[in-house]
Structures are given as C-alpha cells and as structure tokens.
Chain A
Amino acid sequence: SAVISQKPSRDICQRGTSLTIQCQVDSQVTMMFWYRQQPGQSLTLIATANQGSEATYESGFVIDKFPISRPNLTFSTLTVSNMSPEDSSIYLCSVLFSGRVPFFGPGTRLTVL
C-alpha cells in the first residue's frame, strides 16, 4: 500500500497567478498521475509523470498551462499557471503499485477568484 500526501490541501487564488501543488509518496513508484475533478464532474487525467522523462499530457492539457516536475521516485509537483476561475477544481495525484492497484492522494481543492 501507499500513503500519499498533497500540499496544500486547499487554496484560494487570484486570477492570473500560479499555484504549485506537491505530491509526496511514502515509497518509490514509477508511474505517477495527475487528475482534475471539476465541480460535479468525474476525474479527468491531466498527465502521466514518470521520473527521468518529460510528462505525457492528455488531449486538452498543455505543458505551458500545467507544468509538471518529477525529480525523484517519491515526489512530483503540478503547477497551475495563469489561473482563471475555470481552473477551480480538485487536483489529485495518483500512483500505481504492484498489481496495478491505484492509490490516490487526498486532493487539493483550488478556488480561483
């Protein structure tokens, strides 16, 4: 199993600013994922972040808007850049462990004014 923490747990930000969300895992994992959950919606995959390579973004998401770092096997960051109210969502990181069992962080609730 895995324990995943995210910082911050929530934030309220002004339009045009950027926020960096941190995801820390208590053990080494190869595959880490970032999701967005907009109000009343399901989870949408933003990108896959693998250590040692650039993140792979899903359709509709670009690196300039959501830059991702993955400096080691236990940590990743997602930045939401030049925010607008439409970016108000819950952002979750996730990892896949042996047997392809997913674990999710508690999420970061972002409100953009």
Chain B
Amino acid sequence: DADVTQTPRNRITKTGKRIMLECSQTKGHDRMYWYRQDPGLGLRLIYYSFDVKDINKGEISDGYSVSRQAQAKFSLSLESAIPNQTALYFCATSDPLKRTGGTGELFFGEGSRLTVL
C-alpha cells in the first residue's frame, strides 16, 4: 500500500460545486502539504500543516480551504469550484530536518486530477 494515499484519483465536476480531496498517510510524519501542479508552472504550495493544530496558507490559497482531522489526515476543499482550478493536486508529507533528524524530504501521493467544467 502507498504511504501517502489520495482520493479520489480523478474527479470531474461542474462550476460552483463543492469538492473535497482527501489525503491520508502511514509514514507517521507531522508535516503535510497540498500542492497544485499546472503545466509550465511547476508545483505551487496551497496549504501546509506542521501539526494538527497548525495550518498555514501557501502561495496560492485563495479559493481553497483545508482541514487536518488527525495527524494522518489532511483534506483540501474547494468551496465553489471554478474552471481555473482544473489541475493535478498533490498531497505530501515530510519529516522535519532538525527536530527529529529527518531528511526534510517530501513524500508525495500519486495525485488527484480535478477537472472543473
């Protein structure tokens, strides 16, 4: 089984609909992230959470919200989806470099492809 699992893997929806993308991890990492991938733009950070009670906006958080339900679960919501939110979304986890001796490496899920019509 994958260490970082994203659901759904593919979703087609209509403008104005509410969408939730879910992420769960078995790596035991405190830190979780949501990135968005667009061709030619690379990966851009939407939100990140360093523990259950700590949630922070990334560079493109407008139109998105998140919920950290538990250490292992981090969900991304689009309250009212719009076509320019059509993208590939990635959840990732990391182990802090200094605090626990981790490498700081990001571990990504396999992505959720969202199409907003």
A and B part of one assembly: no
Residues of B whose CB lies within 8 Å of any CB of A are: none
